[in-house]
Chains A and B, each alone.
Chain A
Amino acid sequence: MIQRGSSLIDGAFVVCTAFDAADFTAVLCGGSAATFYAPEAYMSADDDFVLTVELPRREISAIMAPLGFRESGRIYVHDAVVWTVDFPRGPLAIGRDIVTTWATERRGAEILHVISPTDSVRDRFMHYFAWNDYSGLTQAVAVARAQRERVDLDAFRAWAETELRETPAYESRRVEAFFKALHEA
């Protein structure tokens, strides 16, 4: 149940559990996944869920309404909390990679599907890769530091090299900047 003081991550568990109960899979991604993995370093303002099957808006609303959420433009808002919920269009992908596996966390009877720590690093880094967005770099580094044991840096580098080959606008110095920042910790 969402109530005053419920955190972004509390809400993520509630929403994901509701979709799970309706036999749909909603995967937490974007900045909210980074907040899940590195709450001390980064606080997102909304829960981003990608659904593994595309649902009409009215079906999403039918699942969200009993939780107290109502549609406000593209997003869902709740009177008790300031954070919002968004359902970006799928497929779940990071750069050219379509993501088909994710982590599943449990908290009592609640469930949360969330992109893996490695994918969260890749997802945040994409903003730096594509737009030179320095905040994306800092978030990627924060997740990699907070989840040091779970992030596969070799996989990250291999993926980055593939993206560099496929997207000429990307620059390899940004990959090196990530590793430099990570090792400066």
Chain B
Amino acid sequence: MTRPDALFGSRLRERILKLLVLVEPAYPRQIAALLGEHLVSVQNAVTALGDLGVVASRLVGRTRLVELDPRWYAAAELRAFLERLAEGDSEIRELAAAVRQRPRRPGKPI
């Protein structure tokens, strides 16, 4: 069987893309922590994916946020493909489920 990571060049790139389709935007340090990877490895993979046009990163304040680039010509198809791949990856889904993206009211106990 063809492993999905062969399509993306590395297992790390595959995991980053599958994570992003579930959790975006995300920042490199967050991605590295979730995936248990070195920050530099994640930064290099994000740069490579950015060079392909597949992901985009932008500065918000002092934080660099990474997401799938909706401007890419095959963005919709890639998103659907990654969602399908993520369905088959329980580890990625569990990691994504642990991330809170919704707002928290100031002062509310954690």
Contact = CB atoms under 8 A, between A and B. Distances in A.
Contact of B73 (A98, A127, A130, A131): A98
A91 B73 CA distance: 8
Contacts of B73: 91, 93, 95-98
B48 to A, nearest CB: 11
Interface string B3-20: 000000000000000000
A185 to B, nearest CB: 26
B51 A74 contact: yes
B76 interface: yes
Contact of B71 (A74, A89, A130): A130
Interface in B53-96: 53, 58, 69-73, 75-76
A39 to B, nearest CB: 24
Contacts of A74: 51
A88 B76 contact: no
Q: Chain B interface mostly helix, strand, loop or mixed?
A: loop
Contacts, number: 28
Contacts of A98: 73
A96 B76 contact: yes
Give the most central of B58, B69, B73: most A CB within 10 Å: B73
Given A96-B76, A131-B58, A169 B70 contact: yes
A166 interface: yes
Contact of A130 (B52, B53, B70): B70
Nearest to A74: B51
Contacts of B72: 93
A126 interface: yes
A89 B51 contact: yes
B71 A166 contact: no
Nearest to B73: A93
| 10 closest Cβ pairs, A-B complex | A93-B73, A130-B70, A126-B71, A130-B71, A166-B76, A89-B53, A167-B70, A89-B52, A96-B73, A98-B73
Interface of A: 74, 88-89, 91, 93, 95-98, 126-127, 129-131, 166-167, 169-170
Interface of B: 51-53, 58, 69-73, 75-76
13 contacts: A74-B51, A88-B53, A89-B52, A93-B73, A95-B71, A95-B73, A96-B75, A129-B71, A130-B69, A131-B58, A167-B70, A169-B70, A170-B70
